[in-house]
Amino acid sequence: WDMFVLAFVERIFRPTFRKDDFQLGKKLGEGAFGVVNKVSLTKKPGSKEGDLVLKRASEYGAVEIWMNERVRRACANSCADFVYGFLEKSSKKGDEYWLIWRFEGDTTLADFMLSKEFPYNVEAMILKEAQDLPKGLERENRIIQTIMRQLLFALDGLHSTGIVHRDIKPQNIIFSEGSRTFKIIDLGAATDLRVGINYIPKEFLLDPRYSAPEQYIMSTQTPSAPSVPVAAALSPVLWQMNLPDRFDIYSTGLIFLQMAFPPLRTDSGLIQFNRQLKRCGYDLVAWRNNVEPRASPDLRKGFELLDSDGGKGWELLTSMVRYKARQRTSAKQALAHPYFDREGLLALSVMQ
């Protein structure tokens, strides 16, 4: 009831918008299901709303609005700040769903990672204390560790709410200049798991570069789905049985891998890695044994980074990127991993 009353009161005081309120700015993205633009408000120039982001989406927009509303109430800091969503009826173009967020910033993790400066281009924004370490493995490890902590924190928020994202990738992680943290965006593929569907009818929505090997996120023995409004109550028992959140963990593991290994940051590098890993039966240790002996210095750097501090990074990575979903760690468990143990890191820097 508290939640209900709160949601109701919030609904009354929240601003509502219509199509004519927005002036289109720069296009930020265009997928198969919608266009994303930076927008400003026409009526109240200079109002406190500031810059906004508008996504105009097809029929899938309905679920994306629903997901964003839920995130707003349950784990607001995990995702970009959602402002409002509505159905825009149009006889010409067909109905469109309009979704509005606050503009969080210009840079996604993908943009940061494609720069030669990575991870140093992120450092000043997320690590408050001046880094007195010299440039090198330990300092890079510490930046990557902070990014991973923020990512897993956001993911844990989503998963604790019962939402599986299914499209976790650097392009869907935005740096919020306001909160100086990375936030998750694009809940457009987070649909069917919430409804407990036992297969993925919109499988083409998934990005093969970051997808876990399992085709069926929920086991095929799962009873068939309730309809969308009932989805909020996706059975915790089903969740425990199928661990659908581990799909996102695999994708997050691949991002960790890309951050550690510079050659894997490009599309072609990642695609090649995926092929190699598949050939190794999705066994990261086998992959390592295979490539390490003839690794380029750039690739070797990744192993060195993950091996530093007693190999905790490598240990965490291998607990995320595993063939079997149930053998993967959860976001919450990962956050408690010794890799994130600051004490240990500081001790190490004193020792050296």
Q: Annotated catalytic sites, by residue?
A: 167
Rg of the chain in Å (alpha carbons): 21
Nearer of residues 151 and 243 to ligand ADP, judged by Cβ = 151
E-assigned strand segments in the chain = 22-31, 34-41, 52-57, 82-88, 96-102, 173-176, 181-184
CB of residue 291 vs ligand ADP: minimum separation in angstroms?
A: 31
Please give the Cα distance from 125 to 108 (Å, whole number).
Answer: 13
In whole angstroms, give the CA distance from residue 331 to residue 246: 8
Chosen residue from 186, 192, 248, 309 binding Mg ion by CB under 5 A: 186
The full length of the chain comes to 352
Cβ-based nearer residue to ligand ADP, 185 or 190: 185
Residue 210 makes contact with ligand ADP by CB under 6 A? no
Q: Partners of 108 in the beta sheet? A: 174
CA distance 316 to 340: 10
x/- letters, 303..342, toward Mg ion (CB under 5 A): ----------------------------------------
172 near Mg ion, rule: CB under 5 A: yes
And the tokens for 264? 């894997």
Nearest distance from residue 349's CB to Mg ion, in Å? 37
Type of residue at 228: V
Distance from C-alpha of 181 to C-alpha of 120, rounded to nearest angstrom? 15
Say if residues 247 and 214 touch (Cβ distance below 8 Å): yes
User: Rounded to the nearest 5 degrees, what angle is found at the Cα of 82, between the Cα atoms of 81 and 85?
Assistant: 170
Query: Is position 188 an interface residue for ligand ADP (rule: CB under 6 A)?
Result: yes
- 62 touching ligand ADP, by CB under 6 A: no
Select 110 or 228, whichever has its Cβ closest to ligand ADP. Answer: 110
Residue 237, classified by CB atoms within 10 Å of its CB into exposed (0-12), middle (13-18) or buried (19+), is exposed
Q: Name the residue nearer to ligand ADP (CB basis): 50 or 136.
A: 50
Q: Which is nearer to ligand ADP, 79 or 234 (CB)?
A: 79
In whole angstroms, the minimum distance from the beta carbon of 72 to ligand ADP comes to 13
Nearest CA among 308, 264, 4, 17 for reference residue 140: 308
> Would you state the structure tokens that stand for residue 288, as one six-digit string?
């390592």
* Residues in region 89-118 near ligand ADP by CB under 6 A: 101, 103-105, 108
Tokens coding 313 = 């990074």
Position of minimal CB gap to Mg ion: 186
- Residue of closest CB approach to ligand ADP: 29
Distance CA 137, CA 100 (A): 40
Contact between 29 and ligand ADP by CB under 6 A: the answer reads yes
156 CB neighbour count, 10 Å cutoff: 19
Query: 174 contacts which partner out of ligand ADP, Mg ion, none, CB within 5 to 8 A by kind?
Result: ligand ADP
Q: Is 31 in the site for ligand ADP (CB under 6 A)?
A: yes
Q: Please choose, out of 28-36, 206-214, 246-254, 311-319, the segment that lies near ligand ADP by the rule CB under 6 A.
A: 28-36
Minimum separation from the CB atom of position 40 to ligand ADP (A): 13
E strand or H helix at 305, and its extent? helix 297-320
Among 96, 123, 140, 186, binds ligand ADP (CB under 6 A): 186
Residue 79 binds ligand ADP, judged by CB under 6 A: no
* Site for ligand ADP, rule CB under 6 A: 28-29, 31, 34, 36, 53, 55, 80, 101, 103-105, 108, 171-172, 174, 185-186, 188
* Site for Mg ion, rule CB under 5 A: 172, 186
